[in-house]
């Protein structure tokens, strides 16, 4: 992730003030959903308070409401980045917390299980004891978020998470995990949800990191 | 302890290999070509079979081994025996089954293998990599002239306890390892299985997609990797009782065949009516959104 000063400058150029309410959306494609959650993460990590993702993205909105083609003029904002050190974690942190706290991998199950290799990642499989939690499974086929009932079934019953739990999210390189993180942190209120931003692009390209393949894992404290 | 398990399994598999490989390579099949006891069965459709098949291979129509009223069940023993005799099967025949590369064809080969083994006939092998692998290595040993058995065979079948029913499954779920051979999406419950109402899996079952045991060219993974999947991944031991199910008997049959015949898990059983029965029961107990 970019540095706080860089993010502050970008946020200001987008007209974001300290008291702004920011709504983020993409157009249609799944990949754009992930861009929106990563932007939300970048802002929240730097202290933004009021951030939302538009459910159903541009497509749902445009079906119901008027849209415009003109690019709006933006007045420079006054957003001040205040870095929250409790959200992003690094390799050492992950390493020292294996078996101690639940970890969720956001890549699709083939990568987790190890029958396929992610682009840019040399070793197949997942961080030991991490559980498979494909980010896309949290969405319906029309790209809207699953119901609260479904999300509770996935996270609270399926992975036996509780609101106070610390949990680490990771994926290929931060993008897919940002959606799992966003749903847990912002939507379900797990304020100790953390993200390993460098993810498998770091972990899976070293030879001193443990990796498990061909195993579906569960986590018990 | 772990090393010991591997060691024992390797010994058992070694002895087994000498008898007849569960998955035979094209070159080994070629070496056995002159063996008078060899019967090669092609499980593809009759139309595709007629366009080309392994020399001397006989076409085996899979639908003849299914129950007429309920296609997810096997035909009665007498009917199966009669069809196998027509294919020329004797009790001492060596049978090699092969398929084309479509999913349906691949599962037809393991289905026929299951039909034979559950009837007590064990001298069988599936051609590793199927017809494509054969053509790639032995392109001249193919033919488009249909072959038929010269005489009826004399094979007789026995009764085994490989196929289990709903009642058995219900009474044993807590003590037996249950493996779901469908895709992880169907297991986890983000995709529906064809013609099945319930979404998810039978409680306590583990996900064990049969396709993950094959490489992209449809040859089986190395034994080392398969052991990693079953012995380390599922923490199974060779004597453990296992029940495999799929959406139907077909997807389950390949997962079961690998366990029973290739890795020698002799207590591996198969839930014959599979998820197409369980998932369509009223009040079916199903777990969704959970890896177990």
Residues A98 and A41 in one domain: no
Q: Where are the domains of chain B?
A: 2-143, 163-278
Range of weakest confidence among B4-18, B25-39, B65-79: B4-18
Q: Are residues A188 and A137 in the same domain?
A: yes
Beta carbons of B188 and A113 less than 8 Å apart: no
How many CA atoms, within 13 angstroms, populate the side-chain half-sphere of residue B198?
22
- Both A196 and A115 in one domain: the answer is yes
Instruction: Choose among B190, B228, B292: nearest Cβ to A137.
Output: B190
CA B11 to chain CA centroid, nearest Å? 23
What CATH code is assigned to B163-278?
3.40.250.10
In whole angstroms, give the CA distance from residue B154 to residue B170: 38
Percent of chain B with pLDDT over 90: 87
Q: Does residue A13 fall inside a structural domain? A: yes
Count of domains observed in chain A: 2
Residues A145, A192 within the same domain: yes
CA distances from B203 to A154, B92, B173, B190 (A): 15, 42, 8, 16
* Planar angle of CA B53, B57, B63, nearest 5 degrees: 90
Whether residues A105 and A195 share a domain: the answer is yes
By C-alpha distance, the chain A residue nearest B189 is A137
Lowest mean pLDDT among A29-33, B17-21, B93-97: B17-21
Specify whether A52 is located in the same domain as A146.
no
Any domain includes A54: yes
Categorize the per-residue pLDDT at B10 as very low, low, confident or very high, splitting at 50, 70 and 90: low
| C-alpha separations of A114 from A119, A122, A123, B227 in Å | 13, 11, 9, 14
For residue A115, the chain B residue with the least C-alpha distance is B212
Name the nearest CA neighbour of B177 among B235, B225, B228, B226: B235
Q: Which residues of A touch B190 (CB under 8 A)?
A: 134, 137
Judged against a pLDDT cut of 60, whether residue A132 lies above it is answered with yes
Phi, psi of B223 (to 5 degrees): -55, -40
Looking at the complex, does the CB of residue A158 fall below 8 Å from at least one CB of chain B? yes
Specify whether A101 is located in the same domain as A142. Answer: yes
Distance from CA of A30 to the nearest CA of B (A): 16
Classify domain B2-143 at the CATH superfamily level: Rhodanese-like domain (3.40.250.10)
* Whether residue A59 sits in one domain with residue A137: no
Among B190, B233, B288, select the one facing A215 at the smallest CB separation: B233
Q: Which of A28-37, A53-62, B166-175, B238-247 has the highest mean pLDDT?
A: B238-247
Taking CA–CA distances from A150, the nearest residue in chain B reads: B289
Query: How far is the C-alpha of B234 from the C-alpha of B215, rounded, in Å?
Result: 20
| Partners of residue A105 in chain B, C-beta under 8 Å | none
Q: Is A19 part of any domain?
A: yes
Looking at the predicted structure, is the pLDDT value of residue B164 above 90? yes
Per-residue pLDDT for B123 more than 80? yes
- What is the DSSP code string of chain A? ---HHHHHHHHHHTT--TT--EEE---SSHHHHHHHHHHHHHHHHTT---EEE-TTHHHHHHHHS----SPPP-----------TTSEE-HHHHHHHTTTS-EEE-S-HHHHHTSS--TT--S-SBSTT-EE--GGGGB-TTSPBPPHHHHIIIIIIIS---TT--EEEE-SSSHHHHHHHHIIIIIS--TTEEEETTHHHHHTT-SSS--B-S-------
- Confidence (pTM): 0.91
Planar angle of CA B199, B278, B183, nearest 5 degrees: 45
Answer with the residue of higher pLDDT: A150 or B172.
A150
Confidence of residue B7 (pLDDT cuts 50, 70, 90): low
Is the domain of A121 the same as that of A24?
A: no
Residue A76 within a domain: no
> Where residue B245 falls among pLDDT bands split at 50, 70, 90?
very high
Residue A72 located in a structural domain: no
Q: What is the least distance, in Å, from the CA of A174 to any CA of chain B? A: 23
Pick among A134, A141, A216 to test the B interface (most B CBs inside 10 A): A216
- Give A96→chain B minimum CA distance, Å: 23
Establish if A210 belongs to a structural domain.
no
Question: Is residue B5 very low, low, confident or very high in pLDDT (cuts 50, 70, 90)?
Answer: low
A77 located within any domain: no
What range defines the domain where residue A163 resides? Answer: 88-203
Do A46 and A113 lie in one domain? The reply is no
A65 shares contact with chain B (CB less than 8 Å): no
For residue A19, how many other CB atoms are within 10 A of its CB?
Answer: 10
Supply the Cα-derived Rg of chain B in whole angstroms: 19
Does residue A125 fall inside a structural domain?
A: yes
- Are residues A217 and B291, on separate chains, in Cβ contact within 8 Å? yes
A135 touches chain B (CB under 8 A): no
Q: What CATH number should be reported for the domain holding residue A186?
A: 3.40.250.10
Res B14 pLDDT > 70: no
Q: How far is A151 from chain B (nearest CA, A)?
A: 9
Same domain? For A192 and A111 the reply is yes
On the CB side of A208, CA atoms within 13 Å amount to: 3
Please indicate, yes or no, whether residues A45 and A110 belong to a single structural domain of this protein: no
Structure-token match 């979404």, residue found = B199
């Amino acid at each position: 992730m970019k540095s706080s000063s860089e993010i502050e400058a970008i946020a200001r150029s987008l007209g974001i003030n300290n008291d702004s309410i920011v709504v983020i959306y993409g157009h249609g494609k799944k990949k754009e959903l992930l861009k929106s959650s990563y932007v939300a993460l970048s802002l929240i990590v730097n202290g933004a308070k009021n951030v939302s993702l538009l459910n159903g993205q541009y497509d749902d909105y445009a079906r119901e409401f008027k849209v415009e083609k003109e690019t709006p003029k933006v007045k420079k904002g006054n957003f001040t980045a205040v870095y929250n050190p409790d959200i992003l974690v690094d390799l050492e942190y992950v390493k020292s917390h294996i078996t101690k706290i639940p970890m969720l991998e956001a890549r699709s199950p083939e990568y987790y299980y190890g029958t396929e290799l992610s682009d840019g990642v040399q070793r197949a499989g997942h961080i030991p004891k991490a559980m498979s939690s494909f980010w896309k499974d949290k969405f319906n086929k029309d790209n809207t978020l699953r119901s609260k009932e479904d999300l509770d079934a996935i996270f609270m019953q399926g992975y036996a998470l509780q609101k106070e739990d610390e949990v680490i999210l990771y994926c290929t390189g931060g993008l897919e995990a940002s959606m799992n993180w966003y749903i847990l942190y912002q939507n379900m209120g797990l304020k100790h949800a953390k993200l390993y931003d460098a993810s498998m692009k770091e972990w899976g390209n070293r030879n001193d990191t443990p990796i498990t393949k061909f195993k579906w894992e569960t986590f018990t404290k | 302890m772990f090393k010991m398990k591997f060691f024992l399994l390797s010994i058992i598999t070694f002895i087994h290999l000498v008898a007849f490989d569960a998955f035979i390579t094209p070159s080994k099949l070629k070496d056995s070509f002159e063996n008078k006891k060899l019967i090669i069965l092609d499980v593809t459709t009759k139309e595709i079979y007629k366009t080309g098949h392994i020399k001397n291979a006989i076409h085996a129509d899979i639908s003849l081994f299914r129950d007429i009223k309920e296609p997810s069940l096997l035909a009665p023993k007498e009917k199966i025996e009669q069809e196998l005799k027509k294919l020329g099967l004797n009790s001492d025949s060596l049978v090699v089954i092969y398929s084309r590369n479509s999913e349906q064809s691949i599962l037809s080969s393991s289905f026929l293998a299951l039909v034979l083994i559950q009837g007590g006939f064990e001298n069988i092998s599936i051609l590793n990599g199927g017809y494509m692998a054969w053509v790639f290595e032995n392109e001249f040993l193919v033919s488009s002239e249909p072959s038929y058995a010269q005489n009826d065979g004399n094979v007789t079948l026995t009764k085994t306890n490989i196929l289990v029913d709903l009642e058995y499954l219900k009474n044993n779920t807590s003590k037996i390892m249950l493996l779901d051979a469908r895709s992880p999406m169907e297991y986890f419950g983000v995709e529906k299985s064809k013609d099945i109402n319930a979404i998810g899996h039978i409680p306590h079952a583990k996900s064990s997609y049969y396709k993950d045991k094959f490489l992209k060219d449809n040859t089986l993974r190395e034994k080392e990797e398969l052991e990693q999947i079953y012995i380390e991944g599922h923490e199974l031991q060779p004597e453990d009782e296992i029940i495999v199910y799929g959406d139907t008997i077909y997807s389950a049959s390949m997962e079961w065949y690998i366990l029973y015949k290739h890795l020698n898990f002799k207590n591996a059983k198969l839930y014959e009516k599979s998820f197409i029965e369980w998932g369509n029961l009223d009040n079916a107990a199903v777990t969704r959104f959970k890896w177990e």
